Amino acid sequence: MEEGEEEVNYASVVFKAGNNPQPAAKRGEETVYGEVKAQNETKNEDSAGRRRFQHLACCLGILCVILLGGIIGVCVYQRNVKDLSAGVQELTTKNKELENQKKNLKQKIQNLTTNWNELSISRAQWSIDSYCLGNADDKCKACQKGWLLTEPSCYAYNDAQPAKQKTWEEAQGDCRGRNSDLAVAHDSEEKIVIINKYSPGSSGTNGFWIGLRVEDGKWKWVDGSDLTDSSFNAEAADGRCAISVRSRNTWVSVSCEEKQQWICQKKALSVSTKQSY
């Protein structure tokens, strides 16, 4: 070291706070900060509590809504069950009523069947009596009195005077009242019988009604069959019916409303001897 220079020593100095009191200003700042921090923590706690309360209230509200919905559902279900039970009861009652009506109808049908059978037997007995009783030879006849036999049918011609003659419908009604119909000719033999044997004294447009008239634009017999005789070619106009005219050896088309005589026809009885009954 050069002469005249002084020796300099450096040392590190560390200051420790120790227990020395802080300045009053700093303590005041710390106090204010502490109070602010405490107030913020209190507000945060209040906000968190409020949120928890809101969540709880919301949950309770949802539970109440669910509970109310369940109560309403149960009430609706019970009402539906009650209505369904009432409907079932009503259907059961109606079913019983229908069963009773069915039973009554069956009884009525049975009674009607019995009455009809009894009536049929009575009419059959009357029919047999009319063919069999009162005959001198003690035998049943194929045709009733007043009817003429041409196998296989019986015929009755009604040569009524003009005042008692009938329209076609009236004549058919008279035949029906005697268990027969206006005469039908499905073949040449029946046609000959109707024209020649059962049309005495008829002429011009005066004749005997037969069971032939126009229906649905066609000539038809009273048994529903179509006319197949091509020799009769009268126009099939509505309101036209046929009469048998002996003098002209044919049938003639006239208005069904005219007054004419008429011929009835029915099947001959096959019983040839009197039956015991």
Helices (H), 133-187: 168-176
More confident residue, 212 or 127: 212
**Residue 248 burial by Cβ neighbours in a 10 Å radius (0-12, 13-18, 19+):** middle
Domain boundaries 148-267, CATH class: alpha beta
CA separation for the pair 244, 263 (Å, rounded): 9
Q: Are 113 and 121 in contact (CB under 8 A)?
A: no
Is beta strand 261-267 parallel, antiparallel or unpaired with respect to 153-158? antiparallel
- Whole-angstrom CA distances from 8 to 1, 5, 11 are 12, 9, 10
pLDDT value at position 78?
A: 84
Asked whether 265 and 180 are in contact (CB, 8 A), the reply is yes
Quote the Cα angle for 137-143-145, to 5°. 70
Whether residue 250 contacts residue 195, with contact meaning beta carbons closer than 8 Å, is answered with yes
Query: Is-cis flag, bond preceding 21, omega within 30?
Result: no
pLDDT of residue 1: 46
Terminal alpha carbon distance of the chain: 185
| Average pLDDT of the residues of the chain | 77
Structure-model confidence comparison of residues 157 and 212, the more confident one: 212
AA letter at 61 = G
Q: 4-63, pLDDT tens digit by residue?
A: 445 555 545 444 455 555 555 555 555 555 555 555 666 666 777 788 878 888 888 888
Q: What is the pLDDT of residues 76-101, one digit of tens each?
A: 888 888 888 888 888 888 888 888 88
181 pLDDT exceeds 90? yes
pLDDT classification of 203: cutoffs 50, 70, 90:
very low
CA distance 176 to 162: 21
| Cα–chain center distance at 160 | 51
Question: Phi, psi (5° rounding) for residue 99?
Answer: -60, -40
Helix (H) or strand (E) holding 92: helix 24-132
**Location of structure tokens 């024209």:** 195
Q: Which amino acid is at 6?
A: E
Residue boundaries of the structural domains of the chain = 22-133, 148-267
Q: 111: pLDDT confidence band, cut at 50, 70 and 90?
A: confident
Question: What was the pLDDT predicted at 204?
Answer: 46
Helix (H) or strand (E) run with residue 158 in it: strand 153-158
Task: Identify the pLDDT of residue 274.
Answer: 40
Q: 219 pLDDT exceeds 70?
A: yes
**Rounded Cα gap, residues 185 and 194, in angstroms:** 8
Q: pLDDT-derived band of residue 2, with 50, 70 and 90 as boundaries?
A: very low
